[in-house]
Structures are given as C-alpha cells and as structure tokens.
Amino acid sequence: MELLRGLTDEEWSLPTRAPDWTVRDVAAHILDGQVRRLSFQRDQHPMTAPVGTVTGYRDLVKFLNELNTDWTRAARRMSSQVLIQFLEVTGPDVAELFRCLDPHGPAFFPVAWADESRSENWFDMGREYTEWWHHQAQIRMAVGAPPLDDREWLNPVLELSMKAFCRAFKDVHVEPETSFVLEIFGEAGGTWSIVANPEGWSVFRGDQPSAATRARCDQDTAWKLFFNALPEKEARGRIETRGDPSLLERLFSVRGVMV
C-alpha cells in the first residue's frame, strides 16, 4: 500500500510481466480477489456461475480468466486514488476474516493448482498470500522498486508453491519412494524433496540423499518460474539439473497459480 500511494500517473500505466496488464490492472486484480473473498466467504453472497459447464482444470482456468478480464476492464474507469481507498478497506477486512478461521478447518476454495479438490484453511490462506505477494512483485518490477524478497516475505511463497509439484508430477509413473530434490539458494531459499508414493506425490522440507534427480537455482529464478514470470528458454539456462528427464521436463511447467 505504501508503494501504491507513492506511484506517479505514469507509473500506474506501466506494463507488467502479467500479459496485457498495467500496474493499474494488477492492483485492480488484487482488489477483485479481495472483494470476491469477502462477498462469497464472509457475506455468503452467491458466486458467479460460469457460462457452460466446468468439467476440468482447463475449463476452470478459462472461467477464471474471463472473470479477471471482465473486472480489470471495468476497473479502468476507477482512478488510482479510488483503487487505493478500496484496497485500504478490503485488505484489512480479508486479514480479519482469516484470523477468525480454524487453520485446519475445510477451506472455502480448494487449491486446484496443487491438485486438491479439498483443502484446509491454512493452505487456502497461504494461496491467497502467494497471490498477493507475486502480484506486488510484478508491480515492483514494473516501477523499479526494491523487491520484498528477504526470508520473512519470500520463503513462505516458495514453501507453499512446492505443493504445485503434486499436480505437475501427477501422471509421471515411477517407483514408490522415487524422489526429486529442488535446492533454492539465497536468503529465502531452502531444500525440498518431492517423493512418489502409491497415492501420488508428497512434498517435504529437506534433502533426500538417495534422490537421483535434482535441480538447483536461485530464489529469484524459482519464484519467477512458479508464477509464470520467466520464459522457458531463460529458465532452462538458469536452473542446474541432473537425473530423470521425465521429472526434469515437468519442472519447467510447475506453476503455483492458475494458468
């Protein structure tokens, strides 16, 4: 919010890494998510019904993209001052809503990019945090502001995003206990193991010494890969890999966001 209050009119119009979205559009998209959360979850307002049938992940992404486009187009009628005023209300209200929830209760929205049809509140809230974080990062990149990339802010984003491997690897068939290790270096980094089991894939913090497949990159590369902010060719040049090609190939499609 401090950053938004200090932007010039020209900076509000700058393009971002989000395709076709300016800084204004990204800020409006954050507001849209907060308005939906308060309306649907806190106030139990009926949710917008999709046109047609949503039968799978692709249909859901298409529906969400349509909602996002409708909102950002309408929000271009708002001044930056109005956007800021709205965000000053909705952000704290969402935080208060989350404070009242049982972390292990059933989530209002499952986290589909982690291949979950049911989630607990802690993960739904975490997903919302990653959403806010990566969009503010897009704004900061666009206007040349320093990133919020120290451990306090970025480590939770990386930790939560690891669950996206469960969807990316879901149809890769390997022996149980096969593991893939990703090391992310930097202040906010760490090491995570993604391990196959009969029910699917699980994510653990820490190394698996027996892992034959490994990847290593810096924290800036990791978050940009997870949030679709890095061209695949550039990602391949920035990530060190060795091991099973079928797992390593899926690494470049891991996304902690609905795309």
The tens digit of pLDDT for each residue in 140-195 reads: 999 999 999 999 999 999 999 999 999 999 989 899 999 999 999 999 999 999 99
Structure confidence at residue 30 (pLDDT):
97
Sequence spans of domains, the chain: 2-148, 162-251
pLDDT > 90 fraction of the chain, expressed in percent and rounded: 88
| The pLDDT value given to residue 19 | 84
Q: Which pLDDT does position 51 carry in this prediction?
A: 75
Are 31 and 1 contacting, i.e. CB atoms less than 8 angstroms apart?
Answer: no
Q: What is the pLDDT, as a whole number, of residue 228?
A: 92
Q: Could you tell me the CATH superfamily of domain 2-148?
A: dinb family like domain (1.20.120.450)
pLDDT higher than 90, residue 56: no
Mean pLDDT score of the chain: 95
Q: Give the C-alpha separation, 23 to 167, whole Å.
A: 30
- Residue 235 near residue 252, CB atoms below 8 Å: yes
Region 79-89 average pLDDT: 98
pLDDT: which is higher, 24 or 61: 24
Select from 3.40.50.300, 1.10.10.10, 3.40.190.10, 3.30.1050.10 the CATH code of 162-251: 3.30.1050.10
Percent of the chain with pLDDT over 70: 100
Look at residues 191, 255, 247 and name the one whose alpha carbon lies nearest to residue 217.
Answer: 191
Cα 52 to Cα 12: distance, rounded to the nearest angstrom:
35
Taking phi first (over 0 means left), then psi (-120 to 50 degrees means alpha), and beta for anything else, what does residue 146 get? beta
Q: Which tens digit of pLDDT belongs to each residue from 195-209? A: 999 889 999 999 999
